[in-house]
Amino acid sequence: MTPDLKVTIAGVEFANPIMTASGCCGYGEELAQIFPLSRLGALVTKSITRHPRLGHPPPRTAETASGMLNAIGLANVGIDAFLADKIPFLTKQKTRIIVNVAGSKLTEYVEICARLNECERVDMIELNISCPNVDEGGMEFGSDPMMTEKSVAAVRKVFSRPVIAKLSPNVTSIAQIALAAEQGGADAVSIINSLVGTSVDIETWRPKLTNNKGGLTGPAIKPVALAMVEAVHASRCRLPIIGVGGIADYRDVVEFMLCGATAVQVGTSLFVDPSGPVKMVKGLSAYLKKKKLGAASDLIGKVRKYGT
């Protein structure tokens, strides 16, 4: 029997648990030339802001051991162009659409989400309250529990479909922030955004990024992301978790689901192999068959921890 790959988050059904991560495939147009987006559980867009942003000047990415640093600075087309030029393409795709939203003021988040609420094709929004690469806003909303609760609650009032809060790993207790998001009315959390990092050119003595620091992503951060997913799953927070960080093949997907993730997002590894998500779906299905499991959801939170 073919295993059932479907998962449900906040009443919304996804064909499989594999999503793209924000910022790693723009608005999906290029990825759709590699494989039909219907093969994904969901496409998550680049963060959308009130006004268009060019982002930081190059160099804004640098390779690291088992990962990469980026300080793109939220380069995006802005909400007007997103609704006019990108939504028509996304509307035609047979996959769930999650729009990631960022802002430097709470009023910006609210305005963007109110406009996205008018667009029925947007299944969920993901609030980027955790970006380490902008001067204003960015992590500020997601590193303080009170600000997290306030931001989610404000957006909750204007967006009638599910809201995901994307959490930062650059905090003392991610479980505390997840609880604050739950109290604000979030329907799910995605864990994690990038870890703050830097790298220096020893010939010029200059940082390798013009922003001086950036966000570390890729396989290097997978153990951190897994531990944070597990910590939130083990906490009082009852929200479904979307695991993100260093996922490069189906084995990583299985690990995240065992630690408590209902679904996962794939980011940096898309730059290495853009068709990776399709291979992950196949690999996950074969793994479930081998383990004689009927459904992907049978994996969620089933890690057999020592001492329990």
Ligand X SMILES: Cc1cc2nc3c(=O)[nH]c(=O)nc-3n(C[C@H](O)[C@H](O)[C@H](O)COP(=O)(O)O)c2cc1C
**Identified binder of ligand X from the candidate list 194, 232, 276, 300, rule CB under 6 A:** 194
Distance separating alpha carbons of residues 199 and 196, to the nearest angstrom: 11
Binding of residue 245 to ligand X (CB under 6 A): yes
From the list 127, 245, 263, the residue with the least C-alpha distance to 195 is: 245
Distance separating alpha carbons of residues 161 and 187, to the nearest angstrom: 9
β pairing state of 67-70 and 61-64: antiparallel
User: Residue written as tokens 């006019």?
Assistant: 84
Which pair of structure tokens corresponds to residue 293?
A: 């499991």
Distance separating alpha carbons of residues 45 and 53, to the nearest angstrom: 15
Question: Which residues in the 36-75 window bind ligand X by CB under 6 A?
Answer: 46-47, 70, 72, 74
131 catalytic per annotation = yes
The 214-233 contact track toward ligand X, x by CB under 6 A, reads ---xx--x------------
The 136-175 contact track toward ligand X, x by CB under 6 A, reads ------------------------------x---------
Question: Which residues in the 72-91 window bind ligand X by CB under 6 A?
Answer: 72, 74
CB atoms within 10 A of CB 206: 12
Distance separating alpha carbons of residues 231 and 178, to the nearest angstrom: 10
Binding of residue 207 to ligand X (CB under 6 A): no
**Identified binder of ligand X from the candidate list 246, 274, 276, 277, rule CB under 6 A:** 246
Binding of residue 21 to ligand X (CB under 6 A): yes
Active site residues: 131
Residues that bind ligand X (CB under 6 A): 21-24, 46-47, 70, 72, 74, 100, 128, 131, 166, 193-194, 217-218, 221, 244-247, 266-269
